[in-house]
Chains A and B, each alone.
Chain A
Amino acid sequence: MGDAIARRRFLGYVLAAPTLVAAAELGRTRAAAAVQRPPAPAQLPSPEITEIVDLNDMMTVAAAPTANLISVEVHADGSVSFALPRAEVGQGVTTSTAMLIAEELGVPIERVRVTLADARPELVFNQLTGGSNTTFSTYTPVRVAAAVARTRLLDAAAADFSVPAARITLDGGTVSTPGRNGVDIGKLAAKASSARVENVAVELRERESFTVIGTPRSRIDALEAVTGQKKFALDLHIPNALPTMVCRPPTVNGEVGSVANAAEVRAMPGITDVAQISTGVAVRGETFGQCIDAVSALRVSWRPGTAEGKSDDDVREELRAAELPLVPKPPLTDTVDETFTFYFRSNSALEPNCAIADVRADRAEIWSSLKSPIVAKQTIAARLGLPQRAVTVHVTEGGGSFGRKLFFDGALEAAEASQRFGKPVRLMWHRADDSRQGRTHPMATSRVRISYKGDTVLRYDQRHTSVSTDLGHGLGEIITATAARLPVGDIGFAETFFQLSQTMSYDFGFNSRLLSETDKGFNTGSMRNVYSPDVTCARELMVDELATRMDRDPYELRRAFLRDDRSRKALEKVAEAGDWGRPMPHGLAQGIAFHAEYKAVSACLVELDCRRETVERPIRNAVAGPRVTKVVFAVDVGLAVNPRGLEAQMMSCINDGIALALTSSLHLRDGHFLEASWDNYFYTRQWNTPPEVRIIVLPDSSDEPGGAGELGVAASVSAVACAYRRATGTLPTSFPINHATLSFEPKPTVPPVPQSPTDGRDHAW
Chain B
Amino acid sequence: MPDHTFRVNGEQVTVDVADDVRLLWVLRDILGITGPKYGCGINVCKACTSHLNGEAFNPCAVPVGDLGPDDEITTIEGLPATVGRDLHPMQRAWLDHDVAQCGYCQPGQIMAAVALVRRVQSEGRAVTDADLDSLRNICRCGTYPRIRAAISAAATDG
A residues at B contact (CB < 8 Å): 89-92, 218-219, 221-232, 234-235, 237, 243, 269-270, 286-290, 292, 348-352, 397-402, 428, 430-431, 621, 644, 648, 651-656, 677-679, 683-687, 689-691, 693, 753-754, 756-761, 763-765
Contact = CB atoms under 8 A, between A and B. Distances in A.
Interface in B97-116: 98-107, 110, 115
A760 B58 contact: yes
Nearest to B52: A764
Given A222-B98, A757-B43, A400 B104 contact: yes
B119 A234 contact: no
Contacts of B17: 270, 286-287
Nearest to B111: A228
Contacts of B29: 243, 286-289
Contact of B104 (A224, A350, A677): A350
A350 B139 contact: yes
A399 B142 CA distance: 12
A226 B102 contact: no
Contact of A292 (B41, B99, B132, B137): B41
Given A652-B142, A765-B56, A398 B102 contact: yes
B138 A683 contact: yes
A758 B20 contact: yes
Nearest to B145: A693
A-B interface, 3 closest residue pairs, ranked by CB to CB distance from nearest: A228-B35, A655-B142, A90-B102
Contact of A756 (B45, B60, B107, B115): B60
Nearest to A95: B98
B61 A287 contact: no
B95 A431 contact: no
B59 to A, nearest CB: 7
A703 B58 CA distance: 48
Nearest to A435: B40
Nearest to B104: A399
B61 A758 contact: yes
A226 B88 CA distance: 10
Q: Considering residues A223, A286, A687, A756, which has the most beta carbons from chain B within 10 angstroms of its beta carbon?
A: A756
Nearest to A216: B98
B interface, how many residues as a size bin? 35 or more
A761 B52 CA distance: 8
Nearest to B149: A693
Nearest to B133: A687
Contacts of B38: 234, 288, 352, 428
A585 B136 CA distance: 30
A219 B38 CA distance: 23
B34 A231 contact: yes
A390 B113 CA distance: 46
A651 B142 contact: yes
Contacts of B76: 226-228
Q: Considering residues B34, B55, B119, which has the most beta carbons from chain A within 10 angstroms of its beta carbon?
A: B34
Contact of B59 (A224, A621, A689, A760): A760
B68 to A, nearest CB: 11
Given A222-B100, A400-B102, A652-B141, A764 B95 contact: no
B28 to A, nearest CB: 8
A401 B60 CA distance: 24
Interface string B130-150: 001111111111111111100
Given A235-B34, A352-B38, A431-B41, A756 B100 contact: no
